[in-house]
A = this chain, B = another copy of it.
């Protein structure tokens, strides 16, 4: 259960790292949107392993096919199915995982819950599952651009102990993509790159913080009570693998301010209601106020490391485990498009929901 997300722009993902493939069905994409496989592929390539020297060297081509829901290059309003076939299936490469639980992976919890697990790779816990999200996010991104010119950028703000100084208001997509770390501060990017290479050499891994900003967001997205924009974004982002926290605006730092320091005064700019500061991070009472949405997500260090680790077998015996092959020392560069996709999905869904807010 729980493989679907969204209320009006609703996606259902499927697929494991080992099996026929992975994919997504999008139910509720409005008719008339121009979309090509190339546009989807662009986003998939950004999340693909092996795209640079600092990501995992596993090769996955991840070629997306649109199987339904478009006609002559446009969405028809009916279910859109997108699929990526799996290629690299070498069952024997996973034999050593069959009878034990990798530490801090989902092996144990899956088996405890279901009584069975696909031990070839991580099953649904594999990062490969996010292919469907990123593919669907490509459509949501186009919708948002069409509707209101809304743009969301995400970038790496911190890797391990290295925090980059970045002005979120001026960051561009180009700056982010020029860095293989996806950190738009060239100096910090260099240092982070080196840190990741060092960590890999030690067979270890590191996490970090991704920051995201949405610009030109329409006023009025989000629902008052449970489906606040903050709440739905938090769920969307915390559903990504390896996430440990999410915060909006000043987040955990906001608690050391007083109300008089934190409140955003309303002012009139160019005839519009705006806030002088944006400590609300674009969302007040769970509803967007038109200012930039600003948030951060914490990713723990990847669970897969090349050290020998203490663990137990399916038969409850103590053993040790050491991962084989080259591992991914840091998922953050590849997580950037996942974060953007999740934000796009939430905003597109709420944009459609907002259509029903008023009598009209």
Q: Which residues of B contact A106 (CB under 8 A)?
A: 224, 284-287
Q: Is the CB of B67 within 8 A of A21?
A: yes
Shortest CB-to-CB span from A261 to chain B, Å, is 8
**Residue A164 lies at the interface, judged by CB distance under 8 Å to chain B:** no
A121 vs chain B, min Cβ distance (A): 11
B109 touches A258 (CB 8 A): no
Instruction: Say how far A150's CB is from chain B's closest CB, in angstroms.
Output: 15
Closest-CB distance, A19 to chain B (whole angstroms): 5
A22 sits at the interface (CB 8 A): yes
User: Chain A, 42-53, contact with B by CB distance < 8 Å: what is the 0/1 string?
Assistant: 000000000000
Asked if residues B358 and A32 are in contact (CB atoms below 8 Å), the reply is yes
| A348: min CB distance to chain B, Å | 10
Cβ contacts under 8 Å, A10 to chain B: 1, 4
Contact B125 A285 (CB under 8 A): yes
Tell me how far the C-beta of A49 lies from the nearest C-beta in chain B, rounded to whole angstroms: 17
* Residue among A1, A68, A271, A285 having the largest count of chain B Cβ atoms under 10 Å: A1
A112 contacts B303, C-beta separation under 8 Å: no
Cβ contact within 8 Å between B255 and A158: yes
Q: Decide: A205 and B353 in contact? CB cutoff 8 A.
A: no
Q: How far apart are the CA atoms of A5 and B79 in the complex, in Å?
A: 13
Copies of this chain held together in the complex: 4
Verify A244–B239 contact, CB threshold 8 A.
no
A66: interface (CB < 8 Å) = yes
Residue-wise interface mask of A (69-81) relative to B, using a CB-CB cutoff of 8 A (1 in contact, 0 not): 1110011111111
Of B21, B219, B318, which is within 8 A of A268 by CB? B318
Check A263 against B305 for contact (C-beta < 8 Å): yes
A273, CB-defined interface residue at 8 Å: yes
Please state if B226 and A78 are interface contacts (CB–CB under 8 Å): no
Contact partner of A298 (CB less than 8 A), chosen from B28, B118, B254, is: B254
Contact bitstring A196-221, B, C-beta under 8 A = 1, else 0: 00010000111111000000000110
Q: Does A307 contact B (CB under 8 A)?
A: yes
Contact partner of A27 among B12, B252, B309, CB < 8 A?
Answer: B12
Closest 8 CB pairs of A and B: A106-B285, A2-B223, A2-B227, A245-B247, A20-B67, A205-B259, A235-B235, A109-B287
- Can you show 26 pairs from A to B with CB atoms below 8 A apart? A2-B223, A3-B224, A12-B25, A12-B79, A15-B79, A31-B357, A32-B115, A79-B124, A105-B285, A108-B284, A109-B287, A110-B285, A113-B220, A125-B224, A160-B258, A206-B259, A230-B239, A251-B298, A252-B252, A254-B300, A258-B305, A267-B312, A267-B318, A271-B316, A273-B316, A355-B356
